[in-house]
Amino acid sequence: MNGILTAFFLLLSLVLSAQQPPTKVMVCLYERIDFNTDFPLAEIGNINTISELEVYDSLTSLLSIVLERYRSTSIVFDVLTPEQSYYFTKRATKSDLDNPSHYGIDLSSINNREYALFMNQHNADYVLFINYYSIKKYRIPEADMEAFKRVVSPDELYLIEEVAKKRPIYSEHLIDFDIYDQYKNRFLSKGRYVIPIVRYNPRTLGKKGLDFETIEKTYGQLVNKLYTELAKEIQNKEQQENH
């Protein structure tokens, strides 16, 4: 009988756990002034057949789509509109911060009660602030190019060899971010956080990873990495609270 009761309560706890809503993370994207690229905006625009004036809006829109498309049983992301982000961007301050060294956001000027009301209105557990975003030039190591040649199909090899002659430049994406919890405590921060580069595509290598198809995949890598970082910190926090 005891064994049956134990099994029942174990099953009940699993069911209740499965019914718990996922952790909701509101996302405040970087502003235009916080975007920097080593590549001319005209070059990014030409690669994607848009005006250089449309690059910033296109990138933030693409990142929003990738973030909100991500779904897991434990964490979901909800991107704030520019109007909603205005609450933070015009009242909080951004500056170079330590521990860790990064370009971060300081919420001390925002009233605790107002912040709590904002979190309750959005039913949010955390707010992710992407404070700075840069696209840097990255020279592909010769060893990587040689390894790449060995895995591409014969009909694509000539594409790689042509690009390799020019000591190819690729793009590397980095962000600085802060995550605040529902009590306005800085929960997690990273500076110059490198987004993993997706596998080089021989047919788009000459575009330096600046085409939106590749950038979308790069953003997918970012969201997966953010999920891993946040899930680990939440688990650590829960373990500390249980001791």
pLDDT digits (tens, 9 = 90+) for 123-153: 999 999 999 999 999 888 877 777 776 666 7
What is the overall mean pLDDT for the chain? 86
Higher pLDDT, 212 or 166: 212
- Kindly state whether residue 43 falls inside one of the protein's structural domains: yes
Higher pLDDT, 91 or 30: 30
Q: Is residue 17 part of a domain?
A: no
Q: Provide φ and ψ at 166, rounded to 5°.
A: -95, 15
Please tell me the predicted confidence (pLDDT) of residue 238.
Answer: 80
- How far the first Cα of the chain sits from its last, in Å, is 32
Q: State the pLDDT confidence band at 9, using cuts at 50, 70 and 90.
A: very low
Is residue 128 within 8 A of residue 26, CB to CB? The reply is yes
| Between residues 19 and 65, the one the model is more confident about | 65
Query: With bands split at pLDDT 50, 70 and 90, how would you rate the model's confidence at 204?
Result: confident
- Show the tokens assigned to 214: 């590749």
Binned at pLDDT 50, 70 and 90, residue 16 comes out as very low
Task: Examine the pLDDT at 7 and tell me if it is beyond 60.
Answer: no
Q: What's the pTM?
A: 0.85
Residue 151 lies in a domain: no
Q: What is the length of the chain?
A: 243
For residue 222, pLDDT beyond 90: yes
Using the predicted structure, report yes or no on whether residue 122 has a pLDDT greater than 50. yes
Question: Is 220 part of any domain?
Answer: yes
pLDDT at residue number 5: 40
Structural domain boundaries enclosing 188: 22-135+172-241
Asked if 30 and 60 count as a contact pair (C-beta separation under 8 A), the reply is yes
Residue 144 lies in a domain: no
Which of the 8 DSSP states describes residue 207? Answer: G
pLDDT in tens, 77-90: 999 999 999 889 88
In this structure, is residue 30 part of a structural domain?
yes
Whether 112 has a pLDDT exceeding 60, the answer reads yes
The per-residue b/e assignment along 221-241, b for 16 or more CB within 10 angstroms, e otherwise, is ebbeebbeebeeebeeeeeee
Q: Is 74 helix (H, G, I), strand (E, B) or coil?
A: coil
Q: How far apart are CA 220 and CA 199, in angstroms?
A: 13
| Locus of tokens 């990142």 | 63
Cross-strand bridge partners of residue 37 = 135
* Higher local confidence (pLDDT), 183 or 166: 183
Asked whether 26 and 85 are in contact (CB, 8 A), the reply is no
Task: Give the closest residue to 31 by CA, choosing from 65, 5, 56.
Answer: 56
DSSP 8-state secondary structure symbol assigned to residue 70: -
Instruction: Calculate what percentage of the chain has a pLDDT beyond 90.
Output: 64
The residue among 168, 167, 186 whose CA lies nearest residue 177 is: 186
Please give the Cα distance from 1 to 193 (Å, whole number): 54
Nearest to 78 by CA among 8, 110, 125: 125
pLDDT at 15: 42
The rounded percent of the chain whose pLDDT value lies above 70 is 84
